[in-house]
Structure 1
Amino acid sequence: MCDSTVPKRPGWKGWIDVPLPSISGAPLPWVDLSHPITETLSRIPFFPQPKIGRWMTYPPVNVTEIHMVVHHGTHFDAPRHFVEDGPTIDQVPLERLYGQGVIWRIDKPPRGAIVAADLERATPAIQRGDIVLIDTGWWEQVNTDSYEDHPVLTEDAAYWLIEHGAKLVGVDSSSTDLAPHYRPDDFDYPVHRTLLSHGVLIAEHMTNLTSLAGQRVEIMFLGINIVGSDGAPARVVARPFVEPS
């Protein structure tokens, strides 16, 4: 018998159609948008604390060992994170992880909702195939008690991003959805499920966005290619995009 109280989870709908990306040859420096990984970096409260230590110290060899979830620190989610039949990290096409994009400054109060109208007003305008990074300034709260009071995307904002051809959406906080301690018992991660089921990747724990906010940029997500994984830590860099002369 079908249990009508269980929400229907969307299956994999395929990658949305976007243009192939390119990176310019402009001689501009890259800005690092990723947090350095530490054991004490802000994390989702129910995730285990990472353990980073020296497994071997024997001159001339040093070997560091890391135990942590793949969603710790700056990372991106593969569709498999919330879509059971969705692609894993090693199945994400490389062209989904670099190219042009926009960084939007959107100011919201603690736990404020980022709605479709906010995205519609944001500048510069999105182009199909863009990476979209949202600067709320929350990255400055990392490692404080306020970090988990971050603004959140709404489901209508997620559909807006799909309709306008975003291929990856990144936020400067721990989640695009509500923080864990504000989620009701029946919470079903609407933003994660909506974006990932349509092949729009999600990046979280972005940092240093403000210096590039309000600009068209080119971005590279240098994530670890982990077979079968639902997410991957990433070194993310960006710089202003310069139109070729």
Structure 2
Amino acid sequence: MCDCSKARGHGWRGWMPLPDSQYLQASGPWLDLTYRLGPKVPRATVFPQPSFRRLKSLPEDPLNITEMQMVVHIGTHVDAPRHFYSDGPAFHEISLERLSGPGVVLRVMKKPGELIEPDDLRRCAVQIQPGDIVALNTGWSQYAGTPAYDDHPYLSSEAAQWLLEQKIKLLACDLPTPDMPVGRRPANYNWPAHHILLGNGILVAENITGLDALAGERVEFMFSALNIEDSDGAPARVLARRLARTDATT
């Protein structure tokens, strides 16, 4: 079900419609699901390491000033549809309602390079509602900073399509990518999970951490991403807190 448009980068199908906003009652503190941004932040190996340097330093100078150079798709970040679709919206065109709101954390345990299938998602003991943010907790963040992090589980095309059918608005994962690990990709690989999700207006967030504490819960998310003009992605500070249980969530 991946995008097979004749013109590469075209074929964005529009935003998923969202339900009306709802009142959310929290039952716990905000938790930070973000990797600290620094030279060793988790990233796909195809991207260069970020660099940070002091342009001015106290006490020699009257103030401290740090310069940062990095790809927007490293560390904890959000992909805009523009990442794979030239006719899709860039980051400054994404509304705040698509970067925050209620959702669920699905716990799925897999081995290196194993597919995550629809049945793995169906078996999770928490119900997905239309308009939810879904965070995929595979436990892979324990390998961040090691070679094992790069050989991760990934979504099958069918699993990505199943998430689309649930009408979610954002998929977050504790992986470098929901697609096949870089080292396992055949020639002419086409990133099917990204194409299915982004192509239908479902945002993708990668390199999330700290999801173990929220596994199986309904939560409120905030993806506080930088509003970068014309960008295909943006670094984000991701926060989540548990929601109080109601008859609709038990």
For Structure 1 versus Structure 2, the TM-score category normalised by the shorter chain is over 0.9
Aligned amino acid, residue 57 of structure 1: S
Alpha-carbon spacing, 1:234–1:8, altered in 2? closer, same or farther (3 Å): closer
> What runs of 5+ residues in structure 2 fail to find an aligned partner?
none
> What runs of 5+ residues in structure 1 fail to find an aligned partner?
none
Alpha-carbon spacing, 1:147–1:194, altered in 2? closer, same or farther (3 Å): same
TM-score (norm 2): 0.91
Alpha-carbon spacing, 1:23–1:174, altered in 2? closer, same or farther (3 Å): farther
Distance 2:7 2:14 in 1: 21
The partner residue of 2:225 within 223, 226, 230 is 223
The partner residue of 1:232 within 230, 234, 238 is 234
- Give the percent of matched residue pairs that are identical in Structure 1 and Structure 2: 44
* Counterpart for residue 166 of structure 1: 168
Alpha-carbon spacing, 1:218–1:49, altered in 2? closer, same or farther (3 Å): same
Is the deviation greater in 118-127 or in 146-155? 118-127
Aligned pairs (5 A) from 1:43-192? 43-58=43-58, 59-192=61-194
Count of aligned pairs between the two proteins: 241
Distance 1:95 1:169 in 2: 14
Is the deviation greater in 201-210 or in 51-60? 51-60
Does the aligned pair in 1 maintain the 2:57–2:63 contact within 8 Å?
A: yes
Distance 1:213 1:73 in 2: 21
Does the aligned pair in 2 maintain the 1:11–1:197 contact within 8 Å?
A: yes
Alpha-carbon RMSD across the aligned residues, in angstroms, is 1.9
Shift of 1:44: 1.3
TM-score (norm 1): 0.93
Distance 1:203 1:22 in 2: 23
C-alpha distance after superposition, 1:93-131 (max 9, x if no partner):
110000000001100011111111111121211000000
Does the aligned pair in 2 maintain the 1:31–1:237 contact within 8 Å?
A: yes
C-alpha distance after superposition, 1:111-153 (max 9, x if no partner):
1111111111212110000000010000010001100111001
Aligned amino acid, residue 18 of structure 1: L
Q: 4+ residue stretches of structure 1 with deviation over 2 A?
A: 6-10, 20-28
Distance 1:118 1:25 in 2: 29
Shift of 1:225: 0.3
* Counterpart for residue 196 of structure 1: 198
Does the aligned pair in 1 maintain the 2:10–2:86 contact within 8 Å?
A: no
* Counterpart for residue 24 of structure 1: 24
